[in-house]
Structure 1
Amino acid sequence: MIRVLFVCLGNICRSPMVEAVMRDLVEKQHVSEVIEVDSAATSAWHIGEPPHRGTQDKLREYGISTRGMKGRQLQKTDFEQFDYIVGMDDSNIQNIHSMLGNPHSPKIFRFLDLTSHRKDVPDPYYTGDFQETYDLAVEGCQALLEKIIQENRL
């Protein structure tokens, strides 16, 4: 099983949106039996909470479910359990390295580094722009899925 973990600050906006988009793509590509997707937060602010209403509403527009998703905090054991640990911005990446204690691992990288944007995913909790986050999620997930398929010869 190939395991992918998306990480943001609170695990209610960006990382759950990206998780849901990736799950949808994985199902449509018929690789859900070999790719597992999850998300987590670097903070403990929203543990146990469902995704933000804006995230849920935006995903619902595109027919993507958030059923069963609840915020959780990144754990040290995640480093051993996941093959790809993907942060939404530079601050998340710094926090991941600090929390997991593994600063030079190639399995930890910034989400949009796989795209032509090479920037941070803006946090819609602050910007209010859930459409921008969704559009970046789709582009980044497509690039990541291609990377996973190539690296793992799926």
Structure 2
Amino acid sequence: MEAIKRILFVCTGNTCRSPMAEYLLKDLIAKSGDVEMENWEILSAGISAVKDAEANDNAQNVMEELNIDLADHSSHNIEELELSQEDLIITMTRKHSRALVLRHPDLADKIFTLKELTELDTDSRDIQDPFGLSEEVYRQTRDEIRDNLRVLLEKLKNFELIEED
């Protein structure tokens, strides 16, 4: 079996949800003590991102509450990346997934929404965009992403997402 070692999170502008997911998963892996997972490459990008934008102030603030610093984050547009190198491409919404599959149909088997992978029982299958909303909405979004990432990490550890080549 080939292990998943490269994960890309995708949202719209790469300033809120996907960087929160990237840094949260890195933090969860670091705290898990799994040495093999610490070698994974976790990135984020946006479908409509402006290159080198900083993380949104509200996103930075709510991540600082967890002692996670987004100050070094610099946005990437999905078109800047070689997506075929990614083992798993995780989007925040079904719309993001559809857009990527339309552009890259050969990668459809690597593209999922976060909630598709975790199968958490929630009201919405998408992680809603907090952009322009209150810091409290960002906090709720952060917590929703973190809850899903905890489930995802356990699935990855148990090889539930890994397929044979």
TM-score by length of 2: 0.82
* Deviations, residues 103-152 of structure 1 (Å, cap 9, x unaligned): 631x2101122122251101010443101111111111111111211116
Matches for 1:62-77 after TM superposition, within 5 Å:
62-75=66-79
The AA in structure 1 aligned to 2:9 is: F
- The structure with more radius of gyration: 2
1:41 and 2:41 equivalent? Answer: no
CA pair 150-75 structure 1, distance change in 2 beyond 3 A: farther
2:95 aligned partner: 91
1:125 partner letter: F
Q: CA deviation at 1:2?
A: 0.4
Secondary structure in structure 1 of the residue aligned to 2:108: coil
Q: Structure 1 residue aligned with 2:151, among 125, 137, 143? A: 143
Q: Match of 1:134?
A: 142
In structure 2, the partner of 1:102 is 106
CA distance in 1, matches of 2:30, 2:100: 28
8 A contact 2:12–2:46 mirrored in 1: yes
Q: Distance in 2 between matches of 1:53 and 1:17?
A: 12
> Which consecutive unaligned segments of at least 5 residues does structure 2 have?
none
Q: How many residues align?
A: 150
Could you tell me the TM-score, scaled by structure 1's length? 0.88
Q: Percent identity?
A: 27
SS in 1 for 2:45: strand
Verify: 1:124 aligned to 2:130, yes or no. Answer: yes
Could you tell me whether the CA contact under 8 Å between 1:17 and 1:55 is conserved in 2? Answer: yes
For the aligned residue pairs, the C-alpha RMSD in angstroms reads 1.9
